[in-house]
């Protein structure tokens, strides 16, 4: 079992520490770096609740080792805003469209949509829907979330 | 859901990966995108003692043209291959297959070589490699060898790769530019492994099939090359071929199993129907 020193950027600040090789990025973020926004749902890549942005790409943090984040830039839902009164535009749309209920899956959905939102050219509604197939929500029946997708696609046009 | 302890080593190049694999012996595992390995570790279905991470082996990533076709480095991300201009222009079957591999979030990390090396019998990329007649490049300290994808798979998740060999790249032969492509997958949900999947390439010139490549996935213990129907199709005229008869021939090599998701009978029935329907539609369009 090897131990590793890691240093990476987390929501704009530098994080450094030591981790066991087997520690997932998800566990490191939640237990060591104090970012509990990425949620541990299935912990084997199915549910999407742990989705974070690493070097600009939305990825499952349960399917990445913490040691692999060394030198990279990681963004979690905590990085979208520092102030509840000033939510990220996609967070605002989630609230307005009732796109969340219990909220467990929401950070994952948000990070995927934020990554898509920054993609050039901007994906269309069908492409965004397809990307959201990588997330499970047990409360909403998805309709509110898909209204957010439609609004994002509308904005692009 | 926590992996058993292991050592983690980083390989900065293909040769370093080969060296580390030789040192690790049978207990070493290559970590590429990790989109299958990490769940296996979390579930403790795999408990290797050494992980050799090839993510920073930049010489294992990218698509290049050579005299025989195209070489895709094993570490090339599925998301990168999906939008690669060389792949889009010269290997148009691959984007069709890649769009069905996992999800947006897993394709960002998952690699072409990782999927090929794993050999999941219901996965898209191994079957596409079999249908296209791709070669797998394996390297060890003993040397490099090229294995046809059709001889690479010997059982579920079992390949002829030796413990000390690293899958370096996949070589795809060039198919004629106008080759007709059929990719059809039946799955319960987007991103799931296929219940039944078909990959078919038909090089048609002047209404006649010059060359055919056909493979099934989800239809046996490995991706299945449908060699009988490839032979039957070769030389056929599109306006006279019988899609239903050919669909029966296409099932010659399959060995589908009953499992939780579908019965063998269901798989055979659906396979024959999608084969006949898609081939019939293609022939109809091209003749008209």
Q: Find the helix or strand (DSSP H, E) in which A54 lies.
A: strand A51-54
Report yes or no on A84 lying in a domain: no
With a pLDDT cut of 70, the percent of chain B lying above it is 100
Report yes or no on A133 lying in a domain: yes
Whether the upstream peptide bond of residue A121 has omega within 30° of 0, thus cis, is: yes
- Smallest Cα distance from A67 to chain B, Å: 9
Asked if residue B1 has pLDDT above 80, the reply is: no
pLDDT in tens, chain A (157 residues): 899 999 999 999 999 999 999 999 999 999 999 999 999 999 999 999 999 999 999 999 999 999 999 999 999 999 999 888 999 999 999 999 999 999 999 999 999 999 999 998 889 999 999 999 999 999 999 999 999 999 999 987 6
Same domain, A131 and A98: yes
Asked which of A79, A105, A130 is the last residue of a domain, the reply is A79
Point out the residue among B41, B42, B105 whose CB comes nearest to the CB of A134.
B105
User: Is the CB of B1 less than 8 angstroms away from the CB of A130?
Assistant: no
| Chain A interface, best mutation among B8, B55, B106, by max A CB count within 10 A | B8
Same domain, A75 and A94: no
Same domain, A8 and A74: yes
Asked if residue B221 has pLDDT above 80, the reply is: yes
Task: Return all residues near A36 (Cβ < 8 A) that are at least 6 apart.
Answer: A30
Instruction: Decide if B76 contacts B112 (C-beta within 8 A).
Output: yes
Q: What is the pLDDT of residue A157?
A: 64
- Which of A26-35, B64-73, B186-195 comes out lowest in average pLDDT? B186-195
Same domain, A12 and A74: yes
Return residue ranges of chain B for CATH 3.30.465.10. 58-172
**Which candidate, A57, A151, A52, A29, places its Cα nearest to that of A109?**
A52
Provide CATH code, domain B7-53. Answer: 3.30.43.10
Distance CA B9, CA B26 (A): 15
Total of domains in chain A: 2
β-strands A13-20, A3-10 pairing: antiparallel
The CATH architecture annotation of domain B180-287 reads: 2-Layer Sandwich (3.30)
Same domain, A16 and A46: yes
Point out the residue among A4, A45, A58 whose CB comes nearest to the CB of B35.
A45
Same domain, A71 and A12: yes
Residue whose tokens read 């469209």: A97
Residue in chain B closest to A49 (alpha carbons) equals B105
What three-state secondary structure class fits A13?
Answer: strand
ipTM associated with this complex: 0.95
Same domain, A71 and A96: no
User: Is the CB of A63 less than 8 angstroms away from the CB of B41?
Assistant: no
Return residue ranges of chain B for CATH 3.30.43.10. 7-53
Partners of B42 on chain A (C-beta within 8 Å) are 24, 43-44, 62
Task: Return all residues near B154 (Cβ < 8 A) that are at least 6 apart.
Answer: B160, B222
Residues of B with CB under 8 A from a CB of A: 1-9, 31, 34-35, 38-39, 41-43, 51, 53, 55, 79, 102-106, 108-109, 189-191
Write the CA distances from B117 to B9, B27, B36, B84, B284, integer angstroms.
Answer: 20, 16, 11, 21, 37
pLDDT classification of B84: cutoffs 50, 70, 90:
very high
Distance CA B2, CA A61 (A): 13
Q: Find the helix or strand (DSSP H, E) in which A6 lies.
A: strand A3-10
Same domain, A127 and A146: yes
Report yes or no on A60 lying in a domain: yes
Same domain, A93 and A69: no
Same domain, A111 and A143: yes
Write the CA distances from B279 to B94, B97, B194, B199, integer angstroms.
Answer: 19, 18, 20, 11
Partners of A48 on chain B (C-beta within 8 Å) are 103, 105
User: Is the CB of B104 less than 8 angstroms away from the CB of A134?
Assistant: yes
**Mean pLDDT calculated for residue range B4-9:** 97
Which ranges constitute the DSSP H helices of A69-118?
89-96, 106-117
Same domain, A70 and A131: no
Q: What is the 3-state secondary structure (H, E, C) of chain B?
A: CCCCCCEEEECCCHHHHHHHHHHHHHHEEEECCCCCHHHHHHCCCCCCCEEEECCCCHHHCCEEEECCEEEEECCCEHHHHHHCHHHHHHCCHHHHHHCCCCCHHHHCCCEHHHHHHHCCCCCHHHHHHHHHCCEEEEEECCEEEEEEHHHHEEECCEECCCCCCEEEEEEEECCCCCCEEEEEEECCCCCCCCCEEEEEEEEEECCEEEEEEEEEECCCCCCEECHHHHHHHCCCECCCCCHHHHHHHHCCCCCCCCCCCCCHHHHHHHHHHHHHHHHHHHHHHHHC
Instruction: Decide if A149 contacts A126 (C-beta within 8 A).
Output: no
**Which candidate, B129, B14, B18, B24, places its Cα nearest to that of B81?**
B129
Distance CA A132, CA A108 (A): 10
pLDDT classification of B271: cutoffs 50, 70, 90:
very high
Same domain, A7 and A73: yes
Tell me the residue range of the domain where A116 lies: 89-156
Domain B58-172 falls in which CATH fold? Answer: 3.30.465
* CATH code for the domain of A11: 3.10.20.30
Q: What is the pLDDT of residue B54?
A: 98
Give pLDDT tens digits for B225-242. 999 999 999 999 999 999
Asked which of A30, A56, A79 is the last residue of a domain, the reply is A79
Instruction: Decide if A2 contacts A19 (C-beta within 8 A).
Output: no
Asked which of A79, A113, A141 is the last residue of a domain, the reply is A79
């Amino acid at each position: 079992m090897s131990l590793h020193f890691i240093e990476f950027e987390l929501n704009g600040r530098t994080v450094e520490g030591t981790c066991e090789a087997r520690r997932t990025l998800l566990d490191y973020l939640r237990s060591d770096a104090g970012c509990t926004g990425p949620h541990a749902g299935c912990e084997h890549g199915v549910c999407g609740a742990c989705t974070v942005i690493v070097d600009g790409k939305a990825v499952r943090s349960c399917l990445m080792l913490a040691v692999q984040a060394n030198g990279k830039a990681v963004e979690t839902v905590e990085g979208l805003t520092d102030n509840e009164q000033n939510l990220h535009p996609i967070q605002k749309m989630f609230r307005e469209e009732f796109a969340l209920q219990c909220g467990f899956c929401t950070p994952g959905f948000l990070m995927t949509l934020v990554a898509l939102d920054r993609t050039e050219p901007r994906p269309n509604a069908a492409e965004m829907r397809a990307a959201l197939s990588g997330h499970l929500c047990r409360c909403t029946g998805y309709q509110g979330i898909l209204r957010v997708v439609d609004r994002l696609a509308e904005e692009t046009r | 859901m926590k992996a058993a302890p292991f050592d983690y080593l980083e390989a900065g190049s293909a040769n370093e990966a080969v060296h580390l694999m030789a040192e690790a012996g049978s207990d070493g595992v290559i970590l590429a995108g990790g989109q299958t390995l990490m769940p296996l570790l979390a579930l403790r279905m795999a408990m290797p003692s050494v992980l050799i991470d090839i993510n920073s082996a930049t010489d294992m990533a990218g698509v290049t043209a050579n005299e025989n076709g195209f070489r895709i480095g094993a570490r090339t991300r599925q998301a990168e291959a999906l939008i690669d201009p060389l792949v889009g222009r010269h290997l148009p079957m691959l984007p069709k297959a890649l769009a069905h591999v996992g999800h947006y979030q897993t394709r960002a990390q998952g690699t072409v070589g990782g999927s090929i090396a794993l050999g999941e019998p219901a996965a898209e990329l191994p079957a596409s490699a079999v249908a296209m007649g791709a070669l797998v490049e394996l390297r060890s300290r003993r040397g490099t060898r090229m294995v046809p994808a059709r001889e690479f798979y010997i059982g579920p998740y079992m390949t002829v790769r030796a413990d000390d060999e690293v899958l370096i790249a996949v070589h795809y032969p060039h198919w004629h530019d106008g080759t007709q492509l059929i990719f059809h997958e039946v799955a319960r949900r987007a991103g799931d492994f296929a219940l039944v999947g078909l990959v078919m390439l038909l090089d048609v010139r002047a209404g006649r099939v010059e060359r055919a490549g056909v493979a099934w996935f989800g239809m046996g213990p490995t991706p299945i090359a449908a060699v009988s129907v490839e032979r039957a199709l070769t030389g056929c005229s599109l306006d006279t071929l019988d899609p239903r008869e050919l669909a029966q021939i296409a099932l010659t090599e399959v060995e589908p199993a009953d499992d939780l998701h579908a019965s063998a009978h269901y798989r055979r029935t659906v396979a024959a129907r999608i084969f006949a329907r898609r081939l019939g539609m293609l022939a109809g369009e091209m003749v008209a």
